[in-house]
Amino acid sequence: MKFIKGGELFRHFVQVKRFPEDHVCFFGAQVALALGHLHENKIIYRDLKPENILVGEDGYLMVADFGLAKFVQNGEMANSFCGTAEYLAPEMLIGNGHDYTVDWWALGILIYEMIVGIPPFFNRNKHKMYNLIKSGSINFPDPVKHKIFVSDNAKDIIGKLLNKDKHARLGAKNGADEILSHPFFKEIDMAKLCKKELEPPYKPALSEELAYFD
């Protein structure tokens, strides 16, 4: 396996607290492409979170840790209860079966967390958090009070990815293409991104080989 010198995205996220939206756009597009590739190969990932995204020394990302991934046939539903609490989709909690769209829900959580600094339904009481995931609304910070600005395009894509109805969720009909055509990603040249021809907005500061590892 490749040695990814930048380590987990989580470590970088902890250092900066929040990423600027152009960083989140660049990161989110890559994650959407990765998840779309998995889905095309009939794999549900099911454990998206900053700890499972690696940052290369070139500033490009890789999705890692497939311990909860599952092969599914077209139209097949998975039923295992698995994943990371803050990133669980409502249908996972309800237990009525889930499909590829749990990954698009998790992408919505990831985008929100990278911009705001905390997952949208986070609560220290897990029972309350699960209730919020199932029936709570998405709240965005007050830009004046909290000094955190979330653009209209970001709010829109987050809201559509976090649709509690998996059939109406962004990505449910046309997968990654549907998501990457959203205005939030309008500044990204997808062809160049796939070829790694875009200059990443963020690169890990590598003073030594193991700087981002315990």
**What three-state secondary structure class fits 98?**
strand
For the cut 90, the answer to whether the pLDDT of residue 187 exceeds it is yes
Residue 177 has pLDDT above 90, yes or no: yes
Candidates 206, 104, 79; CA nearest to 163 is 104
pLDDT-based confidence at 60, cuts 50/70/90? Answer: very high
- In tens, the pLDDT along 85-127 reads 999 999 999 999 999 999 999 999 999 999 999 999 999 999 9
> DSSP readout, 110-149?
HHHHHHHSS-TT--SSHHHHHHHHHHPPP----TTTT---
Segments making up each domain of the chain, as ranges: 9-66+81-194
pLDDT in tens, 30-50: 999 999 999 999 999 999 999
Per-residue pLDDT, 212: 82
Which residues, other chains included, contact 99 with Cβ-Cβ below 8 Å and sequence gap of 6+?
A: 44, 72, 76, 77, 78, 166
The pLDDT of residue 208 is above 80? no
Whether the per-residue pLDDT at 209 is higher than 90: the answer is no
Confidence of residue 198 (pLDDT cuts 50, 70, 90): very high
Categorize the per-residue pLDDT at 197 as very low, low, confident or very high, splitting at 50, 70 and 90.
very high
Predicted local distance difference test score (pLDDT) of residue 163: 98
pTM: 0.95
> Which residues are annotated as catalytic?
47
Q: What's the chain's average pLDDT?
A: 95
Instruction: Say if residues 193 and 29 touch (Cβ distance below 8 Å).
Output: yes
The pLDDT-based confidence of 74 (bands split at 50, 70, 90) is confident
Q: Give residue 155's pLDDT.
A: 98
The helix, strand and coil proportions of the chain, stated in percent and rounded to the nearest 5, come to 40, 5, 50
Among 44, 55, 32, 59, residue whose Cα is nearest residue 184: 32
Which pLDDT score, from 0 to 100, does residue 76 have?
Answer: 87
> What's the CATH architecture for 9-66+81-194?
Orthogonal Bundle (1.10)
